[in-house]
Amino acid sequence: MDLGAYRPVLANRDTRNALLLGFLIRVPMWAGAVILTLHVVSSLGRSYGEAGLVTAASTVAVAVSGPWRGRLLDRIGLRRTVGPSLVVQVVCWSIAPWVGYAPLIGFAALAGLFVVPTFSILRQVIIRSVPSDQRRTALSLDSSATELSFMAGPAIGVWLATSWDTGWALLVCELTSVAAGFVLWLVNPRLTSDSDSAQSGSGGDSTGERVALDEVGEASRAEAIAAGAAVPDDGPRGRAIRGFITVPVAAVYLAAACSTLVLSGTDVSIVAALRSFEATGSIGWVLALWGAGSLVGGLLYGAWHRSFSVFWLLFGLAATTAPVALAVGVPSFAVLITVSGFLCAPTITATVEQLSRHVPERFRGEMMGWHGSAMTAGSAIGAPVAGFAIDHGGWQWGFVVVSALGVVIAAAGLVGSHVGRRPAGSTARTDSEHGVAAASMDH
């Protein structure tokens, strides 16, 4: 482990600016989500279930828009994608705080469809701005910055909603987020390297070279990824399911969805556990400890000397979640939940890093859009699954069930990668096209 690995990454101006801008954009985003719930409950006099429907409408819209907005980034660029989004956001959030419940759902969904794809944009900038061997470190910094914004945003949102009228708080917060998006539009950071543009227009020779690499070089590439070595971004590996989505890419998306399934289930279970301990007032600082564990884990992973398979990290994340069910009071619960957070950021970082190595640069916007949709889908599944388990077995079962699901999926991914490997002496074409593609799921 070498903490000095962060020095050249932070010395890179593009990376440093992306990290700072990401933090400034995400803080009002997290704050706005909390204020929206409090606005529905307090100002509109609705139930928490009805507030959840507003959030669900926005979340589904964001998930649907992810691949579409990412594809626009790839095809027409940042400014032409973000510009119309900013206009829609201003219109929606200038009106939404002052309307009734039903129109609010519509405005929240419309704003979600045209959300500025900040996660996709900033991660593309970070990936583009650093050498391949610094990618994991840079993405780990981004995950850590996200954790910091997640720790700060909800606290600021609660303060604004309790200090001001929730309508004005929602307006100020969402327009602050739009202003941050306008800064992103103004700066207009480059999303892809110059070499990719040249390669895209180079004609049929490039295609032939990629086919040869697909058939011959995949095994060595997979080994390089596993060892954390730098590898060229040559193109999608294995037989495509749809466009750039190959079996290894689909496997990483599944891991991403499962990671947020575990995390969203844990989130619900934390609230249920602390209510059971009659320590509802401790929810805020316990969640902060969970985020702090993830922050530390992300920084250590970024300083580590190699990458790990996303399935190993997912396995560790899920396995460390189950022991939280053994807590007998707030002190032991706080310790166990902090430990369970340690692999949150590394797992998310690994999904982005490994996707960036499997998918050509010209598809990275859409790649990140699908990544966001996969994580949103996992979150949408994890919370109700944990809630059902809690209702029928107590708060402990919330942790146990999502942990078990994570372990099973991670184990299936690891077993699949092992079975997919062929004997070293095999030279059959089917081994090149299918076995190696399956093996790279682990990397």
| Other residues' Cβ atoms within 10 Å of the Cβ of residue 20 | 11
d(CA 90, CA 174): 8
What are the pLDDT tens digits along the chain (443 aa)?
667 778 888 888 888 888 888 888 888 988 888 888 888 888 888 877 788 788 888 888 888 888 888 888 888 888 999 999 999 999 999 999 999 999 999 999 999 999 888 888 888 888 888 888 888 888 888 888 888 888 888 888 888 888 889 899 999 999 999 998 899 899 888 887 754 443 333 333 333 333 333 333 433 444 444 334 444 444 444 565 556 778 888 888 999 999 999 998 888 888 888 888 988 778 778 888 898 899 898 888 888 777 788 899 999 999 999 999 999 999 999 999 999 999 998 999 899 888 888 888 888 888 888 888 888 888 888 888 888 888 888 889 999 999 999 999 999 988 876 665 544 444 444 443 333 333 333 43
Res 174: pLDDT:
92
Closest CA to 132 of 250, 228, 29: 228
Name the strand (E) or helix (H) holding 240: strand 240-242
Closest CA to 389 of 299, 273, 226, 306: 273
Res 153: pLDDT:
84
d(CA 366, CA 234): 17
Res 231: pLDDT:
42
Phi, psi of 240 (to 5 degrees): -75, 135
Res 222: pLDDT:
40
d(CA 311, CA 291): 21
Q: Are 35 and 159 in contact (CB under 8 A)?
A: no
Closest CA to 355 of 341, 345, 343, 370: 370
What tokens appear for 50 in the block? Answer: 């009805």
d(CA 348, CA 180): 24
Res 285: pLDDT:
84
d(CA 383, CA 49): 13
Could you tell me the domains of the chain?
1-191 (1.20.1250.20), 201-443 (1.20.1250.20)
Instruction: Return the CA Rg of the chain.
Output: 22
Q: Are 161 and 38 in contact (CB under 8 A)?
A: yes
Name the strand (E) or helix (H) holding 37: helix 13-38
Res 83: pLDDT:
92
Res 418: pLDDT:
64
d(CA 403, CA 372): 22
Contacts of 113 by beta carbon, 8 Å cutoff, 6+ apart: 61, 62, 64, 65
| Alpha-carbon distances, residue 231 vs 132, 135, 138 (angstroms) | 7, 11, 16
Phi, psi of 241 (to 5 degrees): -85, -45
What tokens appear for 39 in the block? Answer: 């606005």
The 3-class secondary structure across 95-120, one letter per residue, is HHHHCCHHHHHHHHHHHHHCCCCHHH
Res 91: pLDDT:
95
Res 406: pLDDT:
94
198-205 contacts at long range (C-beta below 8 A, 24 or more positions apart): 200/362
